[in-house]
Amino acid sequence: MKRMLLPILVIGVLLISACEVLPETETSPAEQTTPEEKELPSYAIAWDEAKYHIGERTTVCGSVVSTKWASGSKGKPTFLNIGKPYPDPDRFTVVIWIDYRANFPSPPEVYYEGKAICVTGLIIEYEGVPEIEVKDPSQIQDW
């Protein structure tokens, strides 16, 4: 009888250790929400709608997909490209000029890269691309 219990006990332990129990609070990747699926704040527009709001002061939301500090260019701008990366003409761009870069506690091109944000300001157009010039980090919120 003892000889039979040992193999049964070993098999039971192996079966139990092979089972993985996930915490109830964990969500699978399929259940996670992407920024494009998030509900926009009632006062905001999606980044791809900004081209229809040139000249308006509003809030634009989307994911920062590429960034660049053009430190060798006139005005040394920092670019946060939302929705589509540079040079795609269908992108939305946040511009931070060197005069305002010091207002940010860390380099904006590093801090905001890959984040979903909402930016508030006047939408202007530069070479066919809608953009907002930001002077202060309070104009940018996590989304």
Determine if the pTM surpasses 0.85.
no
Mean pLDDT of the region 30-42:
68
Higher pLDDT, 78 or 21: 78
What pLDDT, on a 0 to 100 scale, did the predictor assign at position 38? 83
Sequence-ordered list of residues with C-beta below 8 angstroms from that of 33, at least 6 positions apart, any chain: none
Q: What rounded mean pLDDT belongs to the chain? A: 84
Residue 11 has pLDDT above 90, yes or no: no
Domain boundaries, the chain: 35-142
CATH number attached to the domain at 35-142: 2.40.50.140
Instruction: Tell me the per-residue pLDDT of 120-131, one tens digit each, with 9 for 90 and over.
Output: 999 999 999 999
